[in-house]
Amino acid sequence: MPDFRAMLEFPGGIYAITPETADTERLLSQVEAALAGGAAAVQYRDKSGDVARRHEQASELVALCRRFGVPLIVNDDLRLADLTGADGVHLGRDDGSLREARIILGRGKFIGASCYQSLELAQAAQAAGADYVAFGSFFPSPTKPAAGRADAALLREAARALSIPIVAIGGITPANAPALLDAGADSLAVLSALFGAPDIRAAAHALNQLFATESEQ
């Protein structure tokens, strides 16, 4: 597997978003299965206030993802990303400055930005130095059931207007993903359809095959 650190762009493909759990051993086992199935990037997402647990899990995931040559991105927490040597940070609208993140993490790390349903936010993020932007939620999501809804038209418009990779997120499954790829998504951020599957490796492989099919068309 190629080393992502040699890449100039955030890798396209399956972007695995981790489930929140206190069981670190199980979390590592789940993420390893997703990586074995072809996940191209992993985002550590834990909203708990357990600082020690978050540091332990993020550190362990950094080491695991290194073995697979895949970037580990920390959700929302710039300090945690810096302390654990993670490969980047993903920031929401209220999670801090993209420019500050770049100063702290340096040029060799990925910085992503949630842009919800707004092309204007994405254009501002690109101008501020983001390596990729994420739009969503495209479908009803058990993780964020009240999230606003984005549509394929936004992806098509963003693909024309932006020069950085585009991530689609929210209720994505193998059945509805092809429409998002057709509209211009470079990466699919997935949690429930991946980590809620009885066979995580097989689920990752099935999702990953969609990208192979897309490239052949």
- The residues annotated with a catalytic role in the active site are 45, 114, 144
Q: Kindly state the DSSP code that residue 4 receives in the 8-state scheme.
A: G
Residue 38 to residues 69, 90, 96, 114, 210, Cα–Cα distance (Å): 11, 21, 31, 24, 11
The backbone torsions φ and ψ at residue 170, rounded to the nearest 5 degrees and listed phi first, read 110, 100
Q: Give the number of other Cβ atoms within 10 Å of residue 26's Cβ.
A: 11
Q: Give the number of other Cβ atoms within 10 Å of residue 70's Cβ.
A: 24
Q: Judging by beta carbons within 10 Å of its beta carbon (0-12, 13-18, 19+), is residue 143 exposed, middle or buried?
A: middle
Q: Kindly state the DSSP code that residue 145 receives in the 8-state scheme.
A: T
**Cα torsion angle, 119, 124, 125, 127, sign:** positive
Locus of tokens 């990466």: 187
- Rounded distance between C-alpha atoms, residue 29 and residue 35, angstroms: 10
Amino acid 177 reads A
